[in-house]
Amino acid sequence: MSLPKVLSCYLILMLSAFTGADNGYYYSRWAECIYSSHDLSDMVFIDNYIFNKDVYVQFNSTVGKYVGYTEHGVKNAEAWNNPSQLQQERAEVERYCKHNAEIIQSGVIDKTVPPEVKLSSVTQAGGRHPAVLMCSAYRFYPNQISVSWMRDGKVVKSDVTSTEEMPNGDWYYQVHSHLEYTPKSGEKISCTVDHASLTKPIIVDWDPSLPESERNKIAIGASGLVLGIIIAAAGLIYYKKKSTGRILVPS
């Protein structure tokens, strides 16, 4: 799941017809460019016209025309849905959205640092779920990041809690996401992390075959065995070299 990105331009015009301290009319226009793919292929341009906080007419590049949401908005949409104005609005996807997104991406990507991702089991203090997994992303920049969970190929929405992006104090950030679940035989659980520094999301699969503490013990034991073999081999080589330099005298 890719991280959504938004470019916005917000223009506000207040038309005041004061009859009291707080009375007035507010007209604004809010243009948005929304995309999630790194190649900008899913770019969407949305042009909102707002009166007193309510959108009354909107252009959406996926729809390709203006749509009115109030009586006044419907009349405006009918007037604006002419070939000349629609061609101009549709061209904003390339002229405004993709052009600015490319500039921002080129400036950001040069400074990005990809996250280090770790998936582990944690002990739960209490609750109805017997197991908790924690997906952690460390030392990444900038701070915008997406962490999501997959279970047997489907996005998990419930029983997920995540921290905010936390600064380390050295320009880098970290974030942690927890999944509470009931283990089932044969299931596949994955953590997906997407960041501006990545060409594709990082996907880490959980291996429930052994608890993490047991895997650590096995790793430590295997390391000790390898080290012991190396020391024994070195001792044997040293002994043979010493033996070849001796002259045996019969007694």
Annotated domain spans of the chain: 5-109, 116-205
Class of domain 5-109: alpha beta
Per the CB < 8 A criterion, the answer to whether 33 and 7 are in contact is: yes
pLDDT tens sequence across 94-132: 999 999 888 877 776 668 899 999 999 887 655 566 789
Pick the CATH number of 116-205 from 3.40.50.2300, 2.60.40.10, 3.40.50.1370, 1.20.120.160: 2.60.40.10
- What is the CA angle 16-17-23, rounded to 5? 80
Q: Which pLDDT score, from 0 to 100, does residue 56 have?
A: 96
Q: How far apart are CA 64 and CA 37, in angstroms?
A: 21
pLDDT tens sequence across 204-215: 999 877 555 545
